[in-house]
């Protein structure tokens, strides 16, 4: 399949409904969208082949697992050549849940989840132990207000679809 895939209205509606509830059965999607279950299955296979749908994940509330601290770290590397080896090193620290290579002041921006401030201190020490990291700047999150996927339908289209 080509690198670009033009989403039509049905594709966008399938994606919107699954982003709203990924456990929704294809048969329910089909009934809601007035198509066959086979059509949903074929469309999903095309979206997967095109790389638009890249997997299925389980979203877990880390605070209910005892991870009460979310922190963001701006990482300053000693040189841009340190990016690949630093990223390889950071992948070994399980508390790091996302990392972004940036323009601007920081080289890398990390999201870290920890049980408490003592755990965070230990994780920071592990991160800063990498010799290619010049320094870090830490921001502790007090509350996450928004966490959502990019929407493929307008709010009006979504309201209509969910009615």
Please give the Cα distance from 109 to 138 (Å, whole number).
10
- Is there a contact between 74 and 136 (Cβ–Cβ < 8 Å)? yes
Classify domain 62-140 by CATH number: 3.30.70.920
pLDDT of 3 reads 60
23-to-53, 59, 76 alpha-carbon distances in Å: 14, 12, 40
What digits encode the pLDDT tens for the residues 78-125? 998 999 999 999 999 999 999 999 999 999 999 999 999 999 999 999
Please give the Cα distance from 128 to 71 (Å, whole number).
15
What digits encode the pLDDT tens for the residues 14-26? 999 999 888 999 9
| Residue 53 dihedral angles phi and psi, to the nearest 5° | -100, 120
Looking at the chain, the domain(s) classified CATH 1.10.10.10 span 1-59
Looking at the chain, the domain(s) classified CATH 3.30.70.920 span 62-140
Q: Look up the CATH architecture of domain 1-59.
A: Orthogonal Bundle (1.10)
Q: Which residues are CB-contacts of 85 (< 8 A; sequence separation ≥ 6)?
A: 132
- What mean pLDDT value characterizes the chain? 93
Please give the Cα distance from 26 to 47 (Å, whole number).
14
Q: Is the pLDDT of residue 2 over 50?
A: no
pTM of model > 0.95: no
What digits encode the pLDDT tens for the residues 24-60? 999 999 999 999 999 999 999 999 999 999 988 888 9
């Amino acid at each position: 399949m080509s690198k670009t895939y033009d989403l039509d209205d049905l594709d966008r509606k399938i994606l919107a409904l699954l982003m709203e509830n990924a456990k929704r059965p294809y048969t329910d999607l089909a009934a809601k969208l007035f198509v066959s279950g086979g059509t949903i299955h074929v469309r999903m296979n095309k979206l997967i082949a095109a790389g638009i749908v890249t997997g299925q994940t389980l979203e877990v509330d880390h605070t209910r697992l005892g991870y009460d601290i979310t922190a963001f770290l701006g990482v300053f590397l000693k040189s841009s050549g340190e990016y690949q080896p630093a990223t390889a090193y950071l992948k070994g620290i399980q508390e790091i849940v996302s990392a972004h290579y940036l323009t601007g002041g920081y080289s890398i921006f990390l999201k870290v989840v920890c049980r408490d401030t003592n755990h965070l201190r230990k994780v920071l020490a592990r991160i800063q132990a990498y010799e290619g990291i010049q320094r870090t700047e830490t921001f502790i999150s007090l509350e996450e207000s928004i966490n959502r996927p990019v929407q493929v339908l307008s709010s009006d289209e979504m309201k209509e679809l969910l009615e």
